[in-house]
């Protein structure tokens, strides 16, 4: 069977049981300190850090390897201002205009979010991830994409993790609706806004909700009796 991509031998790193556990525990300690931040410092962040985070996102698996994502980095103050104004206009309809159903508003209440999105102007970078609903063939036709939401979601997870590894903070902001991002970022019709990420350092004295993560017993169901115990 012929493949579009030549197949090459893959030899990933392999560790003994103790080293695997040690590395897993170390990684968990690192990512367990990650928090969503809504108070950013205006201190500049090198563009290279944004590039590296997107490079990490770009390693994500995707349906049929179609890589249906596009990241747009915004650093100029005027564009960030436009994004903030448009986001707040939509959020006011959600919070004050009653567009959010009561159950959603109740779920958000403990977190303390409001329609004020001032951090969108303070953070040195805004990165918008767009999901490609379909591809564009050289002749102008449409190429169907598969598992778009799943693929883009995995890429965004890697993007968030890469920022955290570099000591940077972000927030998964999804103002609804988000069509204004397509206009501001001048994206084509085959792309739809997926997540808006403010990127930067946490402001001095920044506070976050004291959340408790779901216990492992509620996140994991083990159906095998083989737990690798000696």
Residues 126-140: what's their mean pLDDT? 93
In order of their start, the domains of the chain are 37-202 (3.40.109.10)
Mean pLDDT for the chain overall? 92
Question: Each residue of 207-217: pLDDT tens digit?
Answer: 999 989 999 99
pTM for this model (two decimals): 0.91
Residues 143-158: what's their mean pLDDT? 97
Task: Please report which confidence band the pLDDT of residue 226 belongs to, taking 50, 70 and 90 as the band edges.
Answer: low
pLDDT at 85 exceeding the cut of 60: yes
Task: Please report which confidence band the pLDDT of residue 2 belongs to, taking 50, 70 and 90 as the band edges.
Answer: very low
Residues 137-145: what's their mean pLDDT? 89
Residues 50-71: what's their mean pLDDT? 97
Q: Residue by residue, what is the 3-state secondary structure of 13-74?
A: CCCCHHHHHHHHHHHHHHHCCCCCCCCECCCCCCHHHHHHHHHHHCCCCCHHHCCCEEEEEE
DSSP classification of residue 192: E
DSSP-based three-state secondary structure for 157:
helix
pLDDT at 3 exceeding the cut of 60: no
Q: How far apart are CA 6 and CA 179, in angstroms?
A: 39
Q: How far apart are CA 222 and CA 66, in angstroms?
A: 33
186-225 as b/e, with b when 16 or more CB fall inside 10 Å? ebeebbbbbbbbbbbbbbeeeeeeeeeeeeeeeeeeeeee
Q: How far apart are CA 170 and CA 158, in angstroms?
A: 12
Q: Is 186 left (phi over 0), alpha (psi -120 to 50) or beta?
A: left
pLDDT at 225 exceeding the cut of 80: no
Question: What residues have CB less than 8 Å from 198, skipping those under 6 apart?
Answer: 40, 119, 120, 122, 123, 125, 126, 170, 171, 173
Residues 27-42: what's their mean pLDDT? 97
Q: Does 99 or 23 have the greater pLDDT score?
A: 23
Q: How far apart are CA 115 and CA 97, in angstroms?
A: 11
The alpha carbon torsion through 105, 111, 115, 119 (nearest 10 deg) reads: -160
pLDDT, position 229: 52
pLDDT, position 102: 80
pLDDT at 1 exceeding the cut of 60: no
Highest mean pLDDT among 41-55, 137-151, 171-185, 206-220: 41-55
């Amino acid at each position: 069977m012929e493949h579009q991509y030549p197949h090459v031998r893959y030899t990933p790193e392999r560790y003994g049981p103790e080293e695997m556990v040690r590395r897993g525990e170390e990684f968990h300690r690192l990512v367990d300190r990650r928090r969503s931040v809504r108070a950013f410092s205006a201190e500049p962040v090198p563009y290279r850090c944004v590039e590296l985070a997107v490079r990490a996102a770009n390693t994500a698996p995707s349906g049929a390897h179609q890589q249906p994502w596009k990241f747009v980095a915004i650093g100029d103050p005027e564009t960030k201002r436009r994004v903030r104004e448009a986001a707040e206009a939509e959020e006011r309809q959600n919070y004050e205009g009653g567009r959010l159903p009561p159950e959603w508003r109740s779920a958000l209440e403990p977190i303390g979010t409001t329609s004020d999105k001032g951090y969108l102007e303070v953070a040195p970078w805004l990165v918008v991830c767009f999901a490609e609903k379909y591809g564009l063939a050289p002749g102008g036709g449409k190429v169907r994409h598969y598992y778009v939401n799943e693929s883009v979601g995995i890429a965004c997870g890697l993007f968030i993790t890469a920022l955290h590894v570099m000591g940077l903070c972000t927030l998964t902001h999804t103002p609804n609706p988000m069509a204004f991002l397509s206009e501001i970022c001048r994206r084509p019709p085959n792309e739809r806004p997926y997540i808006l990420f403010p990127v930067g350092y946490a402001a001095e004295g920044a506070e976050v909700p004291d959340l408790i993560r779901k216990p492992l017993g509620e996140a994991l169901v083990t159906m095998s009796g083989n737990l690798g115990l000696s």
